């Protein structure tokens, strides 16, 4: 149940950001749910591999290269999902940062409801 709520909150965050950012678009609410699921799967499966492969660059940049990895995950989701569009790496980077921030706020509200 908690996983379903987290995915729905992530989809809500995707919809909010798509309405707020001019170069990010989501066709429908169903597409936003698919984006949330695909992003969570990519973060679970692909991101650890990318982090290990780029570990020297990440160490040299004091971890800032992880932001680029997050943006690449967003662009990969853009290529995999037909109704989701992000125009370029800079918009993917901004989308990634704002999505993480918005998810942390929404997930903290979910934790407060449980207590």
Identify the band that residue 78 occupies on the pLDDT scale cut at 50, 70 and 90. Answer: very high
What residue numbers bound the domain in which 58 lies? 2-114
- The Cα 32–Cα 13 span in angstroms is 9
Flag whether pLDDT at 84 surpasses 70. Answer: yes
Whether 99 contacts 72, CB under 8 Å:
no
Average pLDDT, the chain: 93
Identify the band that residue 115 occupies on the pLDDT scale cut at 50, 70 and 90. Answer: low
Flag whether pLDDT at 112 surpasses 90. Answer: no
For 10-29, the pLDDT digits (tens) are 999 999 999 999 999 999 99
Q: What integer is the mean pLDDT of 79-90?
A: 95
Q: Which long-range contacts (CB under 8 A, 24 or more apart) does 43-47 make?
A: 43/73, 46/73, 46/76, 47/73
Report the domain count for the chain.
Answer: 1
Q: What is the pTM of this model?
A: 0.90
| Virtual torsion, Cα 27, 33, 36, 40, nearest 10 deg | -140
SS3 10: helix
Identify the band that residue 114 occupies on the pLDDT scale cut at 50, 70 and 90. Answer: low
Q: Which residue has the tokens 């699921």?
A: 37
Q: Which residue has the tokens 């800079």?
A: 90
């Amino acid at each position: 149940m908690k996983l379903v709520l987290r995915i729905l909150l992530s989809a809500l965050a995707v919809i909010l950001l798509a309405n707020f950012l001019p170069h990010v678009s989501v066709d429908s609410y169903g597409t936003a749910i698919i984006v949330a699921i695909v992003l969570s799967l990519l973060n679970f499966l692909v991101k650890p591999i990318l982090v290990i492969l780029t570990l020297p660059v990440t160490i040299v940049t004091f971890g800032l290269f992880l932001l680029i990895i997050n943006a690449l995950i967003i662009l990969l989701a853009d290529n995999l999902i037909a109704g989701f569009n992000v125009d370029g790496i800079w918009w993917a980077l901004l989308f990634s940062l704002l999505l993480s921030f918005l998810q942390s706020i929404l997930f903290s509200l979910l934790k407060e409801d449980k207590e």
